[in-house]
C-alpha cells in the first residue's frame, strides 16, 4: 500500500484544497483525543480509495486548525462535511456506519453542480 489517499489540510490550505476543488470533497474534522474519530477513520480512508478520481477526501485536525471548524459551525466531532462547487452539500456529525456515509457520497456525486454556470 502506498499510504493513505486522504490529504491533511489546514486553515491555510482549506480554500485551495477544498473550496476550489474540481471534484466533490469529503472533509473529516477530527482530533487525536477523539475516540469516535479513530473509529470512523478507517471507513473514511477506505472511501478515499474506493472513490479515488471521483471524490477528494481530506482531514482537518480541529486542535491545530481552529478557524475552519468555527467557520462551518463545527461543534462536535467527528464531523464529515461534503463540499461540491465550494459549498457544503451535506454533513454527518458523530459516528455512523459506513453505509450511511457511502449513501451520502453517492448522493453528492449524483448532484448536479448548482453553482457552476
Name the CATH topology of 7-110.
Answer: Glutaredoxin (3.40.30)
Contacts of 97 (CB under 8 A, 6+ apart): none
Q: Where are the domains of the chain?
A: 7-110
3-state secondary structure at position 39? helix
Three-state secondary-structure class, residue 43: helix
Q: What share of the chain is helix, strand, coil (3-state, %, to 5)?
A: 35, 25, 45
The pLDDT averaged over each successive group of 10 residues in the chain (117 residues) is 74 98 97 97 96 96 97 96 96 96 96 56
Q: What is the pLDDT of residue 116?
A: 45
- What CA–CA distance (Å, rounded) separates 49 from 46? 5
How much is the pLDDT for 55? 96
Residue (of 85, 81, 115) closest to 101 by Cα position: 81
CA–CA separation, 6 and 60 (whole Å): 10
Give catalytic status of residue 66 as yes or no: no
- At residue 1, the pLDDT reads 34
- The single residue of 9, 37, 40, 48 carrying the catalytic annotation is 37
Name the catalytic one among 5, 18, 25, 34: 34
Question: In this predicted structure, what is the pLDDT of residue 8?
Answer: 96
107 is catalytic: no
Predicted local confidence at residue 111, as pLDDT: 84
Amino acid at each position: 500500500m502506498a499510504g493513505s489517499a486522504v490529504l491533511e489540510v489546514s486553515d491555510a490550505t482549506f480554500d485551495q484544497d477544498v473550496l476550489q476543488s474540481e471534484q466533490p470533497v469529503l472533509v473529516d474534522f477530527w482530533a487525536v483525543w477523539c475516540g469516535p474519530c479513530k473509529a470512523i477513520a478507517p471507513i473514511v480512508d477506505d472511501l478515499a480509495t474506493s472513490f479515488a478520481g471521483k471524490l477528494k477526501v481530506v482531514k482537518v485536525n480541529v486542535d491545530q486548525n481552529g478557524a475552519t471548524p468555527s467557520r462551518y459551525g463545527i461543534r462536535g466531532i467527528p464531523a464529515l462535511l461534503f463540499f461540491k462547487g465550494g459549498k457544503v452539500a451535506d454533513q454527518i456529525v458523530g459516528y455512523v456506519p459506513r453505509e450511511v456515509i457511502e449513501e451520502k457520497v453517492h448522493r453528492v456525486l449524483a448532484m448536479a453542480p448548482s453553482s457552476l454556470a
